[in-house]
Amino acid sequence: MKKILLIISSIFISGNSFADQPKDWQLGFQNPASDGMRDIVNFHNNLLLPIIIAISVFVLFLMLYACVRFRASANPNPSKRTHNVTVEILWTLIPCLILIVMAVPSFKILYKQDTIPKADLTIKAVGYQWYWGYEYPDENIIFDSYMIEEKDLKSDQPRLLSVDNEVVVPVNKVVKVLITANDVLHAWALPAFGVKRDAVPGRINETWFKAEKEGTYYGQCSELCGIKHAFMPITVKVVSDEEYQEWLLEARVKFAKEEIGNDKLKIVSK
């Protein structure tokens, strides 16, 4: 009984804080926390999934029908037919039409993701082996974000997802993210926001999101980048405007830039 009450209370607590992350035995997407992710979930659940189920059922029916109808005992003299023009035309045109039906709404979603509205905040994310570096260009803030080791985790911090320095953004604001890498290919991904972009050395990719709910959201590098690929998580904390302004004041003091050589910057904490 005590265990059941604990589970129920944890559900309500997590619902209030909306700290979305992968869950045990999860089959579907994470709960959408942005309009972009909601479009992806609706596209998958309302269009792709019914089409996939219908195709699977139809193919299974054809297989069973063929096994029964054309079994050896029922066909002692098998047909010598080599082809059927009508059938071949149908199984070419129908899949093409199905692909068009799926492609049109998917193109709309992709176009929406690539069309970045006027940003309220810009963040630069740089992938390293094996951690993320972040910069707020308009605020002169720059810091590194490392995964917290399991032995150092607090009770409310998920394993392999928590970091020492979180990205903090205000709720209901358009956040533009500039993404690149310092060494090899990485990928900056946040499932709850429907965001995933490759981090390519020497190139800057752009994406954006507008978080609708306060809370802490977790992602991971989604491009195989080396031995510690699974140990460079992404944590974004969405807060109110007031909390964000307070964090900015603290961050400007906590993080500073120290120039090393001619063109390399290193983070130092005061």
Residues 101 and 128 both lie in one domain: no
Low-confidence residues of the chain, pLDDT below 50? 1-17, 258-270
Please state, in angstroms and rounded to a whole number, the distance separating the CA atoms of residues 57 and 112: 33
pLDDT score for 187: 96
End residue of a domain, out of 92, 114, 136: 114
Residues 96 and 175 both lie in one domain: no
Residues 141 and 211 both lie in one domain: yes
Angle at 71 between CA 70 and CA 72, to 5 degrees: 115
Residues 131 and 252 both lie in one domain: yes
Residues 140 and 230 both lie in one domain: yes
End residue of a domain, out of 91, 114, 137: 114
Residues 144 and 99 both lie in one domain: no
Say if 21 falls within a structural domain.
no
What's the sign of the alpha-carbon dihedral 247, 219, 48, 92? positive
Residues 94 and 140 both lie in one domain: no
Residues 193 and 89 both lie in one domain: no
Say if 218 falls within a structural domain.
yes
pLDDT score for 257: 57
Token output for 121:
């905040």
Please state, in angstroms and rounded to a whole number, the distance separating the CA atoms of residues 21 and 40: 17
End residue of a domain, out of 59, 93, 114: 114
Range of the domain at 47: 35-74+81-114
pLDDT score for 7: 41
Say if 24 falls within a structural domain.
no
Q: What's the CATH code of the domain at 197? A: 2.60.40.420
Q: Are 137 and 124 in contact (CB under 8 A)?
A: yes
pTM over 0.85: no
pLDDT score for 263: 44
Say if 233 falls within a structural domain.
yes
Q: What is the pLDDT of residues 57-85, one digit of tens each?
A: 999 999 999 899 888 888 888 777 788 89
pLDDT score for 18: 56
What is the domain count for the chain? 2
Residues 102 and 138 both lie in one domain: no
